[in-house]
Amino acid sequence: MCDTKEKIISSSPSVCNFVTDRYVAGLKRLNPALILCLLSVSLCCSCMREKKTRIYLHETKEIQETDTLQERQLVIGVAAMLSPEYALPAYEKLVKYIGEKMDVPARMLFTRDYASMNEMVRNRKVIGAFVCSGPYVTAHDEWGMEIIAVPSLYGSSSYYSYIIVNDTSGFETMDELQGKKFAFTDPESNTGKLAPTYELALRHVSPESFFSEYSYTGSHDKSIEAVAEGFADGAAVDNLIWEYMSRTDPEYTSRTRVIAKLGPYCNPPFVTYPDCDPAIKEKLKSILLGMEYDPEGKAILSMIFIDRFVEVNDDCYRSIRVMNDWIKREYSK
């Protein structure tokens, strides 16, 4: 791929306030000591006016190393696409439910960094995990990550990348965002980075040459918020997240508008490592596939608008590989 020249949001007072007040919980840890990170953000906002600063809005969480069944405890990973305030209550109930069905206490290991969650699965720090489609493809091709089941939402096991703009803007197509500020979610995200980058590659341009500035917000809901508040002209977000927020808390989605729908792509899967005990793997699959028939399980699924879990094979993710290959060829010229 071409040299990365990540554009960033100007450090104007309003943007700094927005970052510190709304996004500080999602800042990527740039220093092992979190307090130093927060101090650096404060210093940046108070001292810089004309300069630009890199803004990575990822969340990290201290994770103690543990075996997946250490002391008879089931550990399940969640590389959530939503911020904690949206996702954690529902996912915690889901993880607890799985543990009860397996008759083993369960706890959730949460991170928004997709690459880190892949490593947790690879190193067997979790018995299974909810991951993004793009990182799944990478991990499957590199070391054999395996699908256990895939959620079906809104009657479909496929999802899309929404290109959104502020509802008051005059933008109607993705082409009109040339020279504008754009928000991605995570460098490894399918809908939040790969899909829109592929659309640009089809036009023989890159994010660096197409947008005047771009940033990584760390989550789809924060990208939606950035567009709604006017700190980004456009963003690429997971349609499942946009629809979820529209149904549960439309404060920000109501101020955005979808101008393009990219996809479809196979939904993000629940996965495990390749040499997971076949009996455990089969039990996990049975629990997930059976949730729609159990009143308690169905109630938990409804909290996150999941209809049911279904079985799919790796071929379902072929379109993601096609996009990856195209981008590599285009940017290697």
pLDDT-derived band at 53, boundaries 50, 70, 90:
very low
Give whole-number Cα distances, 69 to 34, 74, 101, in Å: 30, 5, 15
Compare 64 and 308 and report the one with higher pLDDT: 308
Q: Residues 143, 222: contact at Cβ < 8 Å?
A: no
Query: Can you state the percent helix, strand and coil of the chain, rounding each to 5?
Result: 45, 20, 35
Average pLDDT of every residue of the chain: 82
Using CA of residue 134, residue 139, residue 141, residue 144, what is the dihedral sign? negative
Predicted confidence at residue 74, as pLDDT, reads 93
Residue 35 pLDDT greater than 60, yes or no? no
Who's near 168: CB < 8 A, 6+ residues apart?
A: 255
pLDDT at 284 over 70: yes
- pLDDT category at 1 given cuts 50, 70, 90 is very low
Across the range 33-57, mean pLDDT stands at: 33
- What does the domain layout of the chain look like in residue ranges? 63-333
- Fold category of 63-333 in CATH: D-Maltodextrin-Binding Protein; domain 2 (3.40.190)
Average pLDDT over residues 159-170: 97
Q: What is the pLDDT of residue 323?
A: 98
3-state DSSP assignment of residue 238: strand
Helix pair 133-143, 318-331: axis angle to 10 deg:
80
Q: What is the pLDDT, as a whole number, of residue 82?
A: 65
Q: Cβ-count burial of 37 within 10 angstroms (0-12 exposed, 13-18 middle, 19+ buried)?
A: middle
Which of 42-56, 117-131, 285-299, 304-318 bottoms out in mean pLDDT, i.e. has the lowest?
42-56
The string of pLDDT tens digits covering residues 65-109 is 444 454 468 999 998 666 666 778 888 999 999 999 999 999 999
Q: Mean pLDDT throughout 5-13? A: 34
Summarize the confidence of residues 112-116 as an average pLDDT: 84
Mean pLDDT of 17-35: 37
The tokens describing 202, both together, are 């089809």
- Which residue type does 295 have? P
Among residues 185, 8, 22, 32, the alpha carbon closest in space to that of 114 is found at 185
Point out the least confidently predicted range of 20-34, 172-186, 187-201, 258-272.
Answer: 20-34
Residue 206 contacts residue 258 (beta carbons within 8 Å): no
| Residue 81 confidence (pLDDT) | 67
Phi and psi torsions of 264, nearest 5°: -90, 165
Question: In the structure encoding, which two tokens stand for residue 242, read together?
Answer: 């946009």
List the structure tokens of 274: 């390749």
Structure tokens that stand for 169 in this block: 């803007």
**Strand 106-110 versus strand 74-78 pairing type:** parallel
pLDDT for the residue numbered 86: 72
At residue 38, the pLDDT reads 32
**In this model, does residue 26 exceed pLDDT 60?**
no
Share of the chain above pLDDT 70, in %: 77
Indicate if the pLDDT at residue 206 is higher than 50.
yes
Quote the DSSP letter at residue 177.
G
Phi-psi region of 132 (alpha: psi -120 to 50; beta: other; left: phi over 0): beta
221-240 average pLDDT score: 96
> Quick check: 76 and 98 in contact, CB under 8 A?
yes
Q: What is the CA radius of gyration of the chain?
A: 20
Residue 287 has pLDDT above 60, yes or no: yes
Place of tokens 């206490």: 105
Report residue 322's pLDDT band, with 50, 70 and 90 as the boundaries: very high
This prediction has a pTM of 0.77
* Averaged pLDDT for residues 265-288: 96
Q: Which residues are within 8 A (CB) of 239 and not within 5 positions of it... i.e. 6 or more apart?
A: 159, 160, 161, 162, 191, 261, 263
